[in-house]
Structure 1
Amino acid sequence: MDSTSGFGELSDLDRSELQMAYGACVADIELFTRQQWWAGAYALVIYALLLAAVHQLVDPVTEASWRHWVLVAITWAICLYGLLAIKRMQISIAVGRRRLDRVRAYFGRPFQEIWSIARPREDIHRMLYGVMVLGAALVTWMALDKAYGVALPLPAPTPLP
């Protein structure tokens, strides 16, 4: 670290605390990012289990069946919980990045010049949102299709000449 950043000379204690804060922030961001991926993976596993339950428990012959609605409710509860978990972790990631920006302000000019190179935004959480909602919609459609024969409208096949 260089003291040319405009904050005066840093003591050895200040330097070690900044290094510790930097390491802790990086570790937190890594942990929360990994947890976002795990939340998405767990939701997909639960959706697969719910699809298996739809196949085993939903009987299209029984008209008064309520099982498919229970499976749909569980599906959307998992989806909402997963979306909330991913959002909370994204907030924690944003806080960690702001903390890193503050720590980096104490770094020297060479570091600041290197760090100022633009990099793409990380919007993986948006993809995870889409996967969770799409998975829940698929399980819902499969449950309703099995219970009521609600098929997706597909184009008619073209006849061969």
Structure 2
Amino acid sequence: MSYTVLGSDLLPIGPVDDFLSHLTARRSSPNTVRGYAHDLANFFAWLDQRGRDFRMLTLEQLGEFFEWLRKPPPTRVPGVFVLPTGESALETSTLVRKRAALGSFYLFHSRRDTSIPALLGDPAGRRPTGRHVPLLAHTQSCVVGWLWLWV
């Protein structure tokens, strides 16, 4: 199963499509792919509101995105101000997932284009934390062993 994120012009957002295809090809959990698609849809909606390009963001500007996420959804439009209450519209676990989605997205694109910074750091060495195991994952070592016999 794959997901497509549409921009304000109702066309697929190419960099997001490339990233989600990559996640699907590496057999990430379908729930992860779906969640990351929603997270990146939020991110590109914010970029569109601000007239910004993801390739040119600074870490401080990315922080503005997370502040925007903490607002209730109806108030995430230009010209609407929310008094600080100390409460976020999203749970901390959701914000952590959105950060992971953006970190993976930027890492993927920074490896393809050196002009794009890996803004949220390189999570290399991090192990998956979910319980999803791709179908037939148990056969990978058998296939590798079988190929080794024929080399």
Please indicate, yes or no, whether the TM-score normalized by the shorter chain is above 0.5.
Answer: no
Q: Which has the higher helix share?
A: 1
After TM superposition, the score normalised by the length of structure 2 is: 0.27
Greater relative contact order (Cα < 8 A, sep 6+) = 1
Q: Which has the larger radius of gyration?
A: 1
After TM superposition, the score normalised by the length of structure 1 is: 0.26
